[in-house]
Amino acid sequence: MKTGMFRVPRGTFHVRDRGNADGFPVVMLHGWPESSCCWEGVAEFLNPNLRVIAPDLRGLGDSERTLDVKAYQKVELAKDVIEIIDALGIRDFFLVGHDWGGIIAQEMAFLIPDRIKKFVILNIPVLTNVKGAEEVTKAMIAIRYIPYWYQYFQMMPGLPEAMIKGKEREWVSFFFGKKGRDGAIPRESIDEYVRCYSIENTPATAASYYRSMALDAPHWAGLAGKRFSMPSLYIYGNEDSVIIPANITHLEDCFDSITVEQIKAAHFLQEEKPREVAELMNRFFK
């Protein structure tokens, strides 16, 4: 995909764009600790008639490093993306989000539901899934919330800034685990995430995704009972240790139309199994 910097009133963002302006747009949002690079493999197998647009989210990739934690409230990050697609002259589109990108995509789906014609999320909790969250809590209590350790670490004032700088490769590579070490996830992609994490202030801006959760919480509580109206697909990599099977229970309470597909992959499923993920999207978008 073509890449370039894009300036809008809310800031400066790095955007990947397949460039086929006549294709129907698919906006793809990455998570942490990645960048829009994570969609390159999927784009290779996605219907070539679709126009793939993938921005780097604020504080990650090559987009601007904003130090104000309030800018990382997920509804604010959603407004960033909406401003980018508005500036590109796009009205209607398909929307895809993985990890934090999946949360931001959900915020967008509530802000501009009439513009999102189909909706795909991968390995992230559904904000309005109250019953599913209760199941997750029970499961996590049983294992003392150990899989969430990195979230609590990043919430600690000054700790990520002090301990990650100079150790970006060790930090980033840890989260891709064996799948990264054995090449199931492309090494060049991990190299790219290490490069981006080495940009000045990234340990702080990346941590802001977690530090801002206290600000997100009241807003998320207000979403209880809302449903996603557009046709939706949840693709679940079922070897994930953080997003567990309980996360995808009770999804029928949250969507007017939802299909759930599981594949044998871990959290970064779109990089581990790009062809399978793209094939599921192609069928859904058809």
DSSP line for 33-57: T--GGGGHHHHHHS-TTEEEEEEPP
Q: How many beta carbons lie within 10 A of that of residue 195, not counting itself?
A: 16
pLDDT at 8: 97
Per-residue pLDDT at 113 exceeds 90: yes
Return d(Cα 273, Cα 86) in angstroms, integer: 31
Residue 259 has pLDDT above 90, yes or no: yes
Gap between the Cα atoms of 86 and 81, Å rounded: 9
Catalogue all structural domains in the chain, each as residue range(s) with its CATH number: 2-285 (3.40.50.1820)
Asked whether the predicted pLDDT for residue 19 surpasses 90, the reply is no
| pLDDT per position as a tens digit, 137-147 | 999 999 999 99
Is residue 235 over pLDDT 90? yes
Q: Calculate mean pLDDT across residues 259-272.
A: 98
CA proximity to 230, closest of 96, 123, 98, 125 = 96
Token output for 272: 């581990």
DSSP letter (8 states) at residue 1: -
Residue 195: pLDDT band with limits 50, 70, 90: very high
Distance in angstroms (rounded) separating the CA atoms of residues 16 and 3: 4
Instruction: Tell me the C-alpha to C-alpha distance, in Å, between residue 201 and each of 2, 12, 113, 149.
Output: 26, 16, 34, 21
pLDDT tens digits, one per residue of 71-86: 999 999 999 999 999 9
> Measuring CA to CA, how many Å separate 133 from each of 27, 126, 216, 283?
27, 9, 16, 29
Largest CA distance in the chain: 51
pLDDT greater than 90 at residue 119: yes
Mean pLDDT (whole number) for 200-223 = 98
Alpha helices of 143-235 — where are they, by DSSP H? Answer: 149-155, 159-164, 168-181, 187-197, 202-211, 213-221
Does pLDDT of 21 surpass 90? no
Query: What CA–CA distance (Å, rounded) separates 211 from 205?
Result: 9
